Copies of this chain bind each other. A is one copy, B any other.
């Protein structure tokens, strides 16, 4: 399966072998990343961005890649994360197919893609791999780690496993442990992929890409990334053009697309499939289910969070998020505060659900900028 690496991506080799938390190790693995801005002489202006499941390292346009990035409105000269002030690093997560080593990468032992021979992947592995990049860039201590969604989990693992690696933390729509509703959604997404005959236990190529399974998985993802409230206003019961004349007119295809919301999901699915490797999706999805700071700490979640030592923290969430609900960001703030941090919880009244941090920049941007202005 092809990897999908944006131009301008930089790479850092991981120590070889790189031991994985749940067993096994990687030989000759690498991490993909991009940077913006300049590290200052005292090395204290570095920010690390850890991403959700699907983004690459191209968070914003750069000298080497003029295409807008996935967080373009947030990051750049004069933007909320101002690259005149900050040296910003975004890593593509370990296990992805966008430059960092993952199940779609070539296994040096066989000369073939790892596929399901990739060792079991945990959020902790992704955190350790990101830490290697930071060390390689000569950063002793980050000014801030910012993690979104899955990256919020990765941030907590990073901070717990690498004390002193960051002075502050912004956790956006993240969680300290996976809960059963989100586990159930992800389990069903994986089942959709595994049920696609083309998945074939992970052995497919471009000609036999498990497209229908990935479409289902992506559509279910989009449903849980947004919110009913947003869609009531955005789509309501509006039908696709060809049917707007007479809603009672029999369909050409009785169970085909009829409502705008169905077409919206279809569009999202089309833009996603064939641009993400299904095995990587399975590995990353499962790593989120496994993540549990309580388990890591050998206690409860608050105990785990309280073992993280940062000076200052901000946990932001959207009131309409059903996948990483607001209580989870409240818990992160409470736990980090119990560990001694000056930690704030900021619920934002965004209609866009879990994805709000990607689209409601009007609310999330000032929140991030306000925190960074004070550190």
A39-68: which have CB < 8 Å to B?
none
List B contacts of A295 (CB < 8 A). Answer: 237, 247
**Residues in chain B near residue A188, CB distance under 8 A:** 216, 219-220, 223, 265
Shortest CB distance A352–B (Å):
13
Q: Is the CB of A237 within 8 A of B194?
A: no
Whether A232 lies near B179 (C-beta < 8 A) is yes
User: Is B262's CB under 8 angstroms from A184's CB?
Assistant: yes
Asked whether A111 is an interface residue with its Cβ less than 8 Å from the other chain, the reply is: no
Question: Restricting to A258-298, which residues have a CB under 8 Å from any CB of B?
Answer: 258-262, 265, 282, 286, 289-290, 292, 294-295
Chain A residues within CB distance 8 Å of chain B:
21-23, 116, 120, 177-185, 187-188, 190-192, 194-195, 197, 212, 215-216, 219-220, 223, 227-228, 231-232, 234-237, 247-248, 250-251, 254-255, 257-262, 265, 282, 286, 289-290, 292, 294-295, 322, 325
Contact of A228 among B220, B257, B325 (CB under 8 A): B325
Q: From residue A209, how far is it (CB to closest CB) to chain B in Å? A: 15
The residue among A184, A197, A212, A223 with the most chain B CB atoms within 10 A of its own CB is A184
Of A192, A215, A295, the most chain B CB neighbours within 10 A belong to A192
Partner of A180, one of B23, B185, B236: B236
A180-B259 contact in complex given A191-B219, A228-B325, A265-B187, C-beta closer than 8 Å: yes
